[in-house]
Amino acid sequence: MQVHLHVTEPLDRERVKQRLAFHLNDLEAHIERLEVDVDRLVGPGGRRLHTCRVTGHANGAVLFDLRERQPQLDTAVSRALGRGARLCQRRQLRFRNPN
């Protein structure tokens, strides 16, 4: 599986890699390529928010494109990767049991 990681802050890169390593086992059976984009922005009221966009590709098609925006970087990355893993698992169960 290929992983493309786009992180603007060098210090955030290691934290994203740790979260990615935690969720990688759930994702690697379902997808061929994973793109993770992490960015910081200033939200309403001057709060700093982290935006994580996770895109999973398989068989030349996009399986999921998820975005999560949270004040904590770890929370944003974990939620987006977790949602992607659960989505792949649900699709696999639906494929096995169409009824």
| CATH superfamily, domain at 2-96 | Ribosome hibernation promotion factor-like (3.30.160.100)
Half-sphere exposure for 90 (CA within 13 Å, toward CB): 8
Question: Model confidence at 96, in pLDDT bands (50, 70, 90)?
Answer: confident
Domain boundaries, the chain: 2-96
pLDDT (tens digit per residue) in 13-35? 999 999 998 888 888 888 899 99
Q: What is the mean pLDDT of the chain?
A: 89
Residue 67 pLDDT > 90? yes
Percent composition of the chain: helix, strand, coil (DSSP 3-state, to 5):
45, 35, 15
**Residues 34, 54, 88, 99: is their CA dihedral positive or negative?**
negative
Rounded Cα–Cα distance for residues 94 and 30 (Å): 14
CA atoms within 13 A on the CB side of 57: 10
Confidence tier at 99 by pLDDT (50, 70, 90): low
Using the Cα atoms of residue 18, residue 21, residue 26 and residue 30 in order, give the sign of their dihedral: positive
What confidence category does residue 44 fall into, taking pLDDT thresholds of 50, 70 and 90?
A: confident
